[in-house]
Amino acid sequence: MNMLRLAIVDDEAPARASLRAALAGIPLELEVVGEAENVAAAVELLDRERPDAVLLDIWLGDGTGFDVLDQLKDRGQRVIFITAFDHYAVEAFKRGAAHYLLKPVVRADLQQALERITTTEDRSMEQVQSLRLALTDRLTLPTAEGFHILSPAEIVRCESDGNYTRFHLANGDKVLASRTLKEFEAALEPHGFLRVHLSHLVNMAQVRMYLHRDGGTLVLTNGQEVPVSHRRRQDVMEALGRKNAKG
């Protein structure tokens, strides 16, 4: 195999360092030609260096990895998406991704992905859906300490804390993730979560009671109470109606 020239694009320095460490242990001829932490820097790097492949995070703070692809002059790079969110898999492969890995990245999986990009491999939507099903019960939360890997069913609710999100778990634990609530909303909606307020995302399976007081309040199975905003009230009532119909 010829020398494979790679670029790393991720908005978190520890994640970029982790990828470099993983690459160093892979028995392939590799060269990292540069790193970038946002969309603008990524586009400049990739257009300048024209690497063979890019390890591309999806959420970049000022945009997404899809924005990077849209702005590239040269579309010849093979893309390996590396992200904490499983629900982008279908879109990634629609965009021609060579592979899709969830954080924290396993070195063997990364090696296999790099080996695959040396060949052209068409992926049918059936293959993509199979991958999505394999990933669907796992959510990876980037935190200051590293990564927490959870099943959505373990989560009672999520609360916005500036540019962070605080996860309240069924066992009473709390996890502060270094991503905004909006980013997690898209990942958790398919699992029965609903944005009931600007600051609150709730697992509707964990709702025990709806109270009319204070404009609308949800009482959860752990005893916590969450306000419902006026504009979200109808969505909440419909979701509760569907829940009761199933129950």
Average pLDDT, the chain: 84
Regarding whether 8 and 97 lie in a shared domain, the answer is yes
d(CA 120, CA 107): 22
The first and second tokens of residue 13, run together, are 């320095």
Single residue among 135, 166, 189 that ends a domain in this structure: 135
26 pLDDT tier (thresholds 50, 70, 90): very high
Regarding whether 102 and 147 lie in a shared domain, the answer is no
Residue 163 near residue 11, CB atoms below 8 Å: no
Regarding whether 215 and 203 lie in a shared domain, the answer is yes
Regarding whether 178 and 101 lie in a shared domain, the answer is no
Which CATH number belongs to the domain containing residue 201 in this structure?
2.40.50.1020
d(CA 51, CA 73): 13
Pick the residue with more confidence: 157 or 126?
157
Regarding whether 167 and 115 lie in a shared domain, the answer is no
Among 11-25, 31-45, 121-135, 153-167, name the one with the lowest average pLDDT.
121-135
Residue 53: the pLDDT is: 92
91 pLDDT tier (thresholds 50, 70, 90): low
Regarding whether 37 and 126 lie in a shared domain, the answer is yes
Regarding whether 159 and 121 lie in a shared domain, the answer is no
Amino acid at 179: R
Is residue 163's pLDDT more than 50?
Answer: yes
Domain count, the chain: 2
Pick the residue with more confidence: 188 or 96?
188
Which CATH number belongs to the domain containing residue 36 in this structure?
3.40.50.2300
Domain that holds residue 241: 139-246
Regarding whether 63 and 29 lie in a shared domain, the answer is yes
Mean pLDDT of 6-19: 92
Single residue among 82, 102, 135 that ends a domain in this structure: 135
Single residue among 78, 111, 135 that ends a domain in this structure: 135
